[in-house]
Amino acid sequence: MSNLILVATPLGNMGDISPRAIEALTNAGLVCCEDTRRTGLLLHNLGIAATLMRVDDHTEHASIPRVLDALNDGRDVCLVTDAGTPGISDPGSRLVRAAIDSSHNVSAIPGPAALIMALIISGLPTDRFIFDGFIARSGQERAAHINELALQRRTVILYEAPHRLHRTLVDLSVACGPERQVALCRELTKIHEEVWRGTLGEAVDHYGTNEPQGEFVLVLQGAPDAPPPTADDIDRLLIAELAGGASTKDASTAVSHILGVPKKSVYNRAVEITNSRKIAD
């Protein structure tokens, strides 16, 4: 039976490619990748000649019939990402589902994963954690996402682009408090690998004066076991929701759900905050 094989590739250090990965890529009848030029260079450096097919966010659905045809013909198909483990904030899940639904075997060859490497070198707890991809870019969805993360008791792992990093740190500092610990990792396994550790407040200052370069993995300390929410907790989350564009009703509903407090009292406070801001304006 043919196989769909998810193959992890180096983040930046060619020494991290595994013998099993090389064997699978060498024997594959088709290699699916985000960028044929980048994967083509990787295979060239490994001395591997392979048929490549672009599979990214825009082409994954359309690529399914060709992948299934290759599997039905008895050829193994490898799926790789530009760097690291495929299917993590990258295309792949729909291909995997289609292969499973068509009764083909799906396996994986493990290897580098930026989120796991960042977690284990962060200095933060690793026994319980979540990976939450990229934070929503704007509006009410972003405010709600950040407020939810602020109350998460497990270590949180995020990806962030350099041009949005400082704003994300500011927003997290407001929602979590400036003393929450964070580790920021970039260029992992490369010559200029960098891991910055400190508080959110310190991170805001650091990256406010040092322009971020390259994509970051952000590892955030989980929220401490907290006593019942205070009035300040409610105000902080309400202000963040309202600033993100939420109506008074939606903001109070969201904060009531997050903190587990009665909606009526939260709504009354949201009205007070809204009215006080109107008077100030």
Residues 173-188: pLDDT tens digits?
999 999 999 999 999 9
The domain spans of the chain are 3-112, 115-220, 231-280
Q: What is the residue-wise DSSP string for 197-237?
A: EEEHHHHHHHHHHS---S-EEEEEPPPPP--SPPHHHHHHH
pLDDT of residue 27: 97
The Cα 253–Cα 30 span in angstroms is 50
CATH of 115-220 given 3.90.180.10, 3.40.440.10, 3.30.950.10, 2.40.100.10: 3.30.950.10
* Amino acid in the structure at residue 243: A
* Amino acid in the structure at residue 86: P
Kindly report, residue by residue over 143-177, the tens digit of the pLDDT.
999 999 999 999 999 999 999 999 999 999 999 99
* Amino acid in the structure at residue 49: A
Q: Using CB atoms within 10 Å of the CB of residue 25, give its burial: 0 to 12 exposed, 13 to 18 middle, 19+ buried.
A: buried
pLDDT of residue 95: 96
The position carrying tokens 């013998």 is: 19
By DSSP bridging, strand 77-79 and strand 30-33 are parallel
Please give the average per-residue pLDDT across 21-40, as a whole number.
97
Half-sphere exposure of 109 (CA within 13 A, CB side): 23
- Name the DSSP letter for residue 95: H
The Cα 227–Cα 244 span in angstroms is 26
pLDDT of residue 278: 61
Q: Could you give the 3-state DSSP secondary structure of residue 165?
A: helix
- Name the DSSP letter for residue 110: -
Cβ pair 21, 10 in contact under 8 A: no
| pLDDT higher than threshold 80 for residue 265 | yes
The Cα 218–Cα 3 span in angstroms is 34
Domain boundaries 3-112, corresponding CATH code: 3.40.1010.10
Cβ pair 189, 112 in contact under 8 A: yes
pLDDT band of residue 229 (cuts 50, 70, 90) is confident
- Name the DSSP letter for residue 34: S
The Cα 202–Cα 205 span in angstroms is 5
The Cα 132–Cα 190 span in angstroms is 24
pLDDT band of residue 280 (cuts 50, 70, 90) is low
